[in-house]
Amino acid sequence: MGVVVLFAGLLSLLVPQLLQPVRMQAINPMLGVIMFGMGLTLSPGDFRVMLSRPKDVLLGCAAQFICMPLLAWVLVHLFSLPADLAVGVILVGCCPGGTASNVITYLAKGDVALSVGMTAASTLLAPLLTPLLTLLLAGAYVDIDAAAMLLSIVYVVLAPVLGGLAVQRFAPCIARRVLPYLPAFSSLVIAFVVAIIVAHTAERLLSGGLLVLLVVALHNVLGLLLGYGVGALLSLPLEKRAALSIEVGMQNSGLASSLATMHFAMYPLAAVPGAVFSVWHNISGAVVARIYGRSVSRGL
């Protein structure tokens, strides 16, 4: 998936006129489609993880919603980012985990059940926590309507996920037919979302893109390290540490870009950190999956 997203981003950066006619608002229904697919992949067993292992799931969600927002706030101040980029970075930090983390955890031979449970739990918590954290950490930069943001997350994330769950529950034959194609389809939609955002901000990305890439990379890598560190401090098995690391470090960055487009249209660069994060965390995720996978195999 990382290769597809990276290619789409680079192509759109070099030839932005290809997608500039497509309005930024188009990414909202696209994200809804991705979240609908997430709902199709979830099963009652995934939610039972939250009940059978509440300590693990709550610990993971707490680490995610504490580490990533605070890291974003620190990086924004450390690099003195302008308001538009600052809001974008903080939005990424305040979003829930993304479905890509479940794939990366599987490749890393980590605790997949914990990963899926954390993704489901953080997604359910997002309508409340994402607006509140964004208001708390980014309110000094721009005016934030937390109530409107809550409704946006319900429409773009929660409702499609619940719709996917409903299809799986009441029309399982349809779910079984489309499931094999979902990973490839989701990758293409995410790539298209990234390409649209990059096309509309290509000029400013070319002039200041290295700074954005540096901040986004640090945000992701430090999140991966902190997630692993929390697991190590609690003496969790390596499989759980790997899942915690990946879940904390990998965000639903498409949601961050979507929220930036809907609520901060006067700051077009606010959608850029989410787009760059979408590319970067798939690359870093592939690297850590290889590292964790080898360590788990060796029993380290």
Q: What's residue 194's pLDDT?
A: 82
Give which of 32, 31, 92, 65 is closest to 277, Cα–Cα. Answer: 92
Domains defined along the chain, listed by start: 2-9+25-293 (1.20.1530.20)
Q: What is the pLDDT of residue 75?
A: 97
Nearest to 276 by CA among 256, 249, 292: 256
Q: What is the model's pLDDT at position 5? A: 79
Confidence (pLDDT) at 299: 65
Residues 214-247 pLDDT 10s: 999 999 999 999 999 999 998 899 999 999 999 9
Give the distance from CA 101 to its chain's centroid.
8
Tens-digit pLDDT profile for residues 55-71: 888 888 999 999 999 99
Spacing of C-alpha 165 from chain mean position: 20
pLDDT score for 129: 95
Task: Report pLDDT for 157.
Answer: 87
pLDDT, residue 300, reads 59
pLDDT of 225: 96
What pLDDT score was predicted for residue 2?
Answer: 65
CA distance 70 to 3: 29
- 16 neighbors 198 (Cβ within 8 angstroms): yes
Nearest 5°: phi and psi at 97? -70, 155
pLDDT below 70 — which residues of the chain? 1-2, 44-46, 208, 299-300
In a 13 Å sphere around the CA of 202, the CA atoms on its Cβ side amount to 18
Phi-psi region of 32 (alpha: psi -120 to 50; beta: other; left: phi over 0): alpha
Residue 198: predicted pLDDT: 83
- Identify the sign of the CA torsion 149, 154, 157, 158: positive
